[in-house]
């Protein structure tokens, strides 16, 4: 994915809110839905877009899906701009 595509994804306030939630640690979809007060399909759509970009990682355990920030990719992306971010 190109830098412009990632910047486009990060420009969305819902996706940034998701990343802030996941910064605190791995969460399942229902916890993210609860925190954002949005519908499950809406949250799943944003999570899918973040996952496609490699910004979040998902893990399935039985019927639950858990997401976490892909810290290594996000740090690498941010460092490419000469910036630092505490994740």
Q: Domain range for residue 28?
A: 3-79
Q: Does any domain span residue 84?
A: no
pLDDT by 10-residue block (mean), the chain, 87 residues = 81 94 94 96 96 94 94 81 67
Q: Does any domain span residue 39?
A: yes
Question: Per DSSP, what are the bridge partners of residue 56?
Answer: 69
The predicted model scores a pTM of 0.85
Q: Does any domain span residue 41?
A: yes
How many domains is the chain built from? 1
User: CA quadruple 65, 69, 71, 77: dihedral positive or negative?
Assistant: positive
Q: Does any domain span residue 86?
A: no
CATH of the domain at 49: 1.10.10.10
Q: Does any domain span residue 29?
A: yes
Q: Does any domain span residue 87?
A: no
The per-residue pLDDT of the chain, averaged, comes to 89
Q: Does any domain span residue 60?
A: yes
């Amino acid at each position: 994915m190109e830098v412009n595509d990632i910047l486009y994804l990060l420009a969305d306030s819902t996706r940034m809110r998701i990343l802030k939630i996941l910064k605190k640690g791995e969460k399942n979809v229902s916890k993210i839905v609860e925190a954002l007060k949005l519908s499950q399909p809406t949250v799943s759509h944003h999570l899918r877009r973040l996952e496609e970009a490699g910004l979040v990682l998902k893990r399935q355990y039985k019927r639950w899906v858990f997401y976490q920030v892909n810290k290594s990719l996000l740090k690498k992306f941010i460092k490419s701009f000469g910036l630092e971010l505490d994740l």
